[in-house]
Structure 1
Amino acid sequence: MHPTTVRACTVHAAGDLRIEERPAAAPGPGEIAVAITLGGICGSDLHYYHRGRVGDFAVREPMVLGHEVVGHVAALGPGSTGPAVGTPVAIHPATPCGGCPECAAGRRNICGHTRYLGSAAHLPHVQGGFAERVTVPAAQIRALPPGLTLNRAVLAEPLSVALHAVNRAGDVRGKRVLVTGAGPIGCLVVAALRHRGAAEIVASDLVDEPLRIAAEVGATATVRAGRPEDPAWTAPFDITIEASGAPAGLRTCVERARRGGTVVLLGLLPPGEVGLLGNVAVTRELDLRGAFRFDTEFDEALSLLAQGLPVDPVITHTFPLDRATEAFDLAGNRELASKVLLNLSTS
């Protein structure tokens, strides 16, 4: 029987995170309801919690957070086709419009009309996946490959972001690559680079614990930011990927890229204008490329996770939904935690 309400993790404003009862929508035609088991707390969720906004997207109404979610099919709407009830699934968080020039060009990840779980980009906001039960279009549902557990599948969304950033960098085989920021996304970028054949992968961060994890998932060297004497800095990089969202990280990426190199901007920077070493970019003829979300990489991510891509060290903690505030506070402590999960299972 379909429940009338579910518990959900909702942000109302900066610093105002609540576990509250919300109406449970029954799946309509073309929709599937999923009983959520696990959800990963993303950097954007933390920004909504701490600052009430992500970049230029501000919270203007209560919003259920979360877009890295996995669980089991609970019900199919009338006429819906998809995995049978009980099947373990992951949810692709994006629903592009399908009719804009970007969608027509195969760049659905930058569709300006995309509905993305747990996003304040539009009003009304798109409610997210940190709820005991979520209803989404059937096209967003992916049955897990054989042998892939929910505990690993929950990394599919952030790994997709990482894979898209590496795709934007171009062919990385045999290249020397710098990744600034060794948070969960940065570490998954490292793992993706290793899988794609990068020869050297240097990860930099201000904190030791993220660098330890980066080394476990494939970094050939790690560097504490702010230590220019470190020998890992001695040669310029073919490719630099900014995954910290910090202006200092962007500066480092531009400074450390070789002449004719590529700089990928992945981390969302603070709102407004951010300083850029424009003359360096011009005189070295650097390619600056943005990387936003992902599209078909989601299916590749699930396949790689099923094949055993070594990313398990990225997950460090799991909390029940009732302790969501504690989980969010820990997730923001980079000296202690990397990817923190919420367990939303009611069983």
Structure 2
Amino acid sequence: MRIALARGGICGSDLHDYNHGGFGAVRLREPMILGHEVSGHIREIGPGVRGFAPGDLVAVSPSRPCGACPECLRGLPNHCLNMRFYGSAMPFPHIQGAFCEEIVASAGQCVRAEGLGPEQAAMAGPMLGAEVLVTGCGPIGLLTIMAARRADPEALAPHAAGKGRLDVLFECSGAEAALCAGIATLRPRGVVVQLGLSGDMRLPMMQITVREIELRGAFRFHEEFAVAIDLMRAGLIAADNLVTHAFPLQDFAEAFATTNDRTRAMKVQLTFGAA
């Protein structure tokens, strides 16, 4: 389907690429278009496409697994060995991103977003009865808090969580200090879900081993994308409240500068011609 973009959110990984040419061992080795949190209106559909029509507002998933590699066949499309995730410098040649006036996407990538604004539909990518702690209250952290509250309003621990009493840590900052401090709040056999990415970190292996802490990585998404849209359409998650700024595409330099200023911005989006 040919889609005229309306909104595109600037993600932390976009910032790493824009500011530093990558993060950790992942480095830009050729020019690459950024962007993977996008929404837009369908302009044209191909033969055989069902369930969509020109004019529909859709959220576009950046996840494009091959469907045929061993990881896809194991039911892990987010770990596809041939993944073509928008705006990714992991493979070479790099996979170009979606900050364009128009893109062509498969119907399987798109989720209809009737009842939402383009700014909400572009927030689907960052989304996701134990007592939990969330560290790192950027867009991903706040959406994790919203999802935890939706699952169980009593699940979230107070800000000053006690040592060794919590069940799950969602670490969304990618900061070593937050990870180590959060692990100390977990009870034996607690679970760490590491969402934030900023490079390698040192781990308190003694605590992890002696208290049998389970450490899980959470990388990208696939089927969860449609779940996020459904939650927003049902009014269960209000992601538009996180969008603090929007700039036309031609003002991308100001948009990135604003995103870099965490005292002013939460989620900054670019607007395109279809907005």
Counterpart Cα distance in 1 of 2:140 and 2:190:
22
TM-score, scaled to structure 2: 0.94
Counterpart Cα distance in 2 of 1:324 and 1:267:
24
Secondary structure of 1:279's counterpart equals helix
Contact residue 80 and residue 138 of structure 1 kept, 8 A:
no
Q: In structure 2, what is the equivalent of residue 126 of structure 1?
A: 95
The gaps in structure 1 that reach 5 residues or longer are: 1-31, 164-172, 203-220, 223-230
Q: CA deviation at 1:102?
A: 1.5
Matched positions, count: 273
Counterpart Cα distance in 2 of 1:123 and 1:311:
33
Secondary structure of 2:82's counterpart equals coil
Structure 1, residues 185-212: CA drift from partner, whole Å, max 9, x if none?
A: 010010111111152424xxxxxxxxxx
Q: In structure 1, what is the equivalent of residue 177 of structure 2?
A: 248
Counterpart Cα distance in 2 of 1:200 and 1:137:
38
Q: Which runs of 4+ in 1 moved over 4 A?
A: none
Q: CA deviation at 1:262?
A: 0.6
Structure 1, residues 148-193: CA drift from partner, whole Å, max 9, x if none?
A: 222211111111xxx1xxxxxxxxx1x2211110010010010111
Match of 1:252, as an amino acid?
A
Answer yes or no: is 1:321 the counterpart of 2:239: no
The gaps in structure 2 that reach 5 residues or longer are: none
More strand per residue: 1 or 2? 1
Contact residue 177 and residue 198 of structure 1 kept, 8 A:
no
Q: In structure 2, what is the equivalent of residue 37 of structure 1?
A: 6
Q: How many percent of aligned residue pairs carry the same amino acid?
A: 42
Counterpart Cα distance in 2 of 1:147 and 1:178:
32
Counterpart Cα distance in 2 of 1:80 and 1:149:
27
Q: In structure 1, what is the equivalent of residue 218 of structure 2?
A: 291
1:103 to 68, 72, 76: 72
Q: In structure 2, what is the equivalent of residue 341 of structure 1?
A: 269
1:198–1:108: structure 2 CA closer, same or farther, 3 Å change rule? farther
Q: In structure 1, what is the equivalent of residue 207 of structure 2?
A: 280
Q: CA deviation at 1:346?
A: 5.3
Q: In structure 2, what is the equivalent of residue 148 of structure 1?
A: 116
1:316–1:259: structure 2 CA closer, same or farther, 3 Å change rule? same
Secondary structure of 2:150's counterpart equals helix
Counterpart Cα distance in 2 of 1:295 and 1:71:
19
Counterpart Cα distance in 2 of 1:341 and 1:111:
28
Structure ranking higher on relative contact order (CA contacts 8 Å, 6+ apart): 2
Counterpart Cα distance in 1 of 2:207 and 2:239:
35
Match of 2:207, as an amino acid?
V
2:34 to 29, 43, 65: 65
Contact residue 38 and residue 345 of structure 1 kept, 8 A:
no
Counterpart Cα distance in 2 of 1:51 and 1:336:
21
Q: In structure 2, what is the equivalent of residue 182 of structure 1?
A: 137
Counterpart Cα distance in 1 of 2:205 and 2:60:
39
Q: CA deviation at 1:235?
A: 6.0
Q: In structure 2, what is the equivalent of residue 158 of structure 1?
A: 126
Contact residue 8 and residue 99 of structure 2 kept, 8 A:
yes
337-346 or 279-288: bigger deviation: 337-346
Q: CA deviation at 1:330?
A: 1.0
Structure 1, residues 259-316: CA drift from partner, whole Å, max 9, x if none?
A: 111111111132xx42110010000001111101111111110000001123332111
Match of 1:295, as an amino acid?
H
Answer yes or no: is 1:331 the counterpart of 2:259: yes
Structure 1, residues 87-113: CA drift from partner, whole Å, max 9, x if none?
A: 111111111111122211211111121
Counterpart Cα distance in 2 of 1:88 and 1:313:
19
Secondary structure of 1:95's counterpart equals coil
